[in-house]
């Protein structure tokens, strides 16, 4: 909860960090709409895809800093969408899920499954703006480190 | 969301009298679906209220002796956070431990069957043992509609039966498979090994035409 309290204090996000181009793939339109409304104020550009195939098409015609994918969608599932996207581009992917991400008692590990298919990280819904920004920053940093490592 | 509300209204009717096992299962399924569906709107709420609280300085002071609108926005955020925290606990509670390994095995089989049926049609091959032996033809139809995301009302309309009948088929087949509800069945499907799922074709026309385009 401490993360959320910081949002209330106004330390949530620094405007300069939010000029991302984000693709949100989620059958629940309200998530993308809220991210769009909040981050657009700070120069971010957010595109929303209600189906995995629509998102994959969007990726073909424009470039994004990061892609957010919901794991549970009608039609193509989020996990399959991640595999699909990975096959055609190296764009960082963040998975979202309303379920527990890890549950050792039931040997459920969405985080592991999503990462195995090429996602950088996973966030659990509901999440606050700050959590999203942190996940994106972490993901982009990882990407840069990887690039530098490969470049040497 | 309208679909959820109509489902909820259906569930409300069950409060009268003692629910049968089938009805209790149906209610549980609706509950799990609603709990899961709430995560999206709650995320949106956190963003909107967070945005308000963040820009609280720009809000007018408000009239009268009450708290400033900035304070109201901060309070709203605090309450939204509490609701989200409770919501996660509710979602966790609906994800009770799976009873047996068999439920997982059944789930995998059923999903494989579903993917083949959508590709080749039901007559092209013999159904898997679980589906063949446990589910009646009607239950198989219902299962396909449930996985396509049909509500009880939509499904009932497509099969031209009453929604109570549809719901009863639905509860029966879920019990036979060993899943509490469609959400759990999908979770079982996600546990299936890689390769068995990625060929599942789109389940609605919109998706299909988007892929063809």
Structural domain boundaries in chain B: 2-94, 101-212
Instruction: Choose from B84, B188, B190, B196 for mutation: most chain A CBs within 10 A.
Output: B190
CA atoms of B63 and B164, how far apart (whole Å) = 53
Band the pLDDT of B127: cuts 50, 70, 90: low
**Exposure string (b/e) for B133-172, b if CB count within 10 Å is 16 or more?**
ebbeeebbbbbbbbbbbbbbbbbbeebebebeebbbbbbb
**Reported pTM:** 0.56
- Confidence at residue B17, expressed as pLDDT on a 0 to 100 scale: 45
State which CATH number among 3.40.50.280, 3.40.390.30, 3.40.50.2300, 1.10.20.10 fits the domain covering A14-151: 3.40.50.2300
CA B109/CA B104 separation, integer angstroms: 9
Report CB contact under 8 Å: B97, A105. Answer: yes
With beta carbons under 8 A apart, name residues in chain B contacting A51. 206-207, 210
Q: For this complex, say whether ipTM is above 0.90.
A: no
Mean of the pLDDT values across residues B148-161?
A: 84
Query: Quick check: A140 contacting B, CB < 8 Å?
Result: no
CA atoms of B212 and A74, how far apart (whole Å): 17
Fold of B101-212: Arc Repressor Mutant, subunit A (1.10.10)
> Cβ(A105)–Cβ(A61) under 8 Å?
no
Residue B86, pLDDT score: 86
The residue written with tokens 């009948």 in the block is: B165
pLDDT number for residue A25: 93
Q: Which of the four pLDDT bands, split at 50, 70 and 90, describes residue B49?
A: very high
A79 has a pLDDT exceeding 50: yes
pLDDT digits (tens, 9 = 90+) for B83-107: 988 888 787 776 544 445 556 666 7
d(CA B44, CA A13): 17
pLDDT recorded at residue A4: 44
CA distance B40 to B36: 8
pLDDT at B25 over 50: yes
Is the pLDDT at A48 greater than 90? The verdict is yes
Nearest chain A residue (CA) to B189? A77
> What separation, in Å, do the N-terminal and C-terminal C-alpha atoms of chain A show?
41
């Amino acid at each position: 909860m401490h993360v959320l309290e910081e949002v209330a204090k106004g330390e949530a996000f620094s405007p300069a960090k939010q000029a991302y181009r984000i693709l949100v793939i989620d059958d629940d339109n309200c998530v993308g709409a809220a991210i769009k409304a909040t981050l657009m104020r700070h120069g971010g550009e957010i595109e929303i895809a209600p189906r995995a195939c629509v998102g994959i098409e969007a990726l073909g015609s424009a470039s994004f800093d990061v892609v957010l994918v919901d794991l549970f969608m009608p039609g193509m599932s989020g996990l399959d969408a991640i595999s699909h996207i990975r096959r055609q581009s190296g764009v960082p992917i963040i998975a979202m899920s309303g379920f527990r991400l890890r549950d050792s008692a039931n040997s459920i590990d969405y985080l592991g499954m999503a990462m195995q298919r090429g996602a950088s990280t996973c966030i659990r819904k509901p999440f606050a703006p700050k959590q999203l920004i942190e996940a994106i920053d972490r993901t982009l940093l990882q990407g840069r480190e990887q690039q530098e490592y490969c470049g040497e | 969301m309208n679909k959820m509300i109509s489902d909820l209204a259906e569930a409300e009717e069950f409060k009268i009298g003692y629910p049968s096992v089938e009805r209790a299962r149906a209610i549980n399924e609706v509950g799990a679906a609603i709990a899961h569906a709430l995560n999206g709107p709650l995320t949106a709420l956190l963003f909107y209220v967070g945005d308000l609280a963040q820009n609280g300085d720009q809000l007018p002071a408000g009239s009268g002796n009450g708290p400033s609108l900035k304070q109201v926005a901060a309070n709203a955020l605090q309450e939204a956070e509490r609701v989200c925290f409770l919501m996660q606990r509710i979602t966790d509670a609906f994800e009770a431990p799976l009873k047996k390994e068999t439920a997982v095995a059944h789930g995998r089989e059923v999903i494989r069957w579903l993917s083949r049926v959508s590709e080749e049609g039901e007559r092209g091959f013999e159904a898997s043992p679980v589906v063949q032996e446990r589910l009646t033809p009607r239950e198989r139809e219902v299962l396909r509609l449930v996985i396509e995301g049909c509500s009880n009302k939509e499904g009932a309309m497509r099969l031209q039966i009453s929604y109570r009948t549809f719901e009863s088929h639905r509860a029966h087949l879920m019990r036979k498979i060993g899943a509490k509800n469609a959400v759990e069945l999908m979770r079982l499907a996600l546990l299936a090994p890689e390769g068995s799922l990625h060929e599942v074709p789109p389940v609605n026309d919109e998706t299909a035409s988007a892929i063809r385009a």
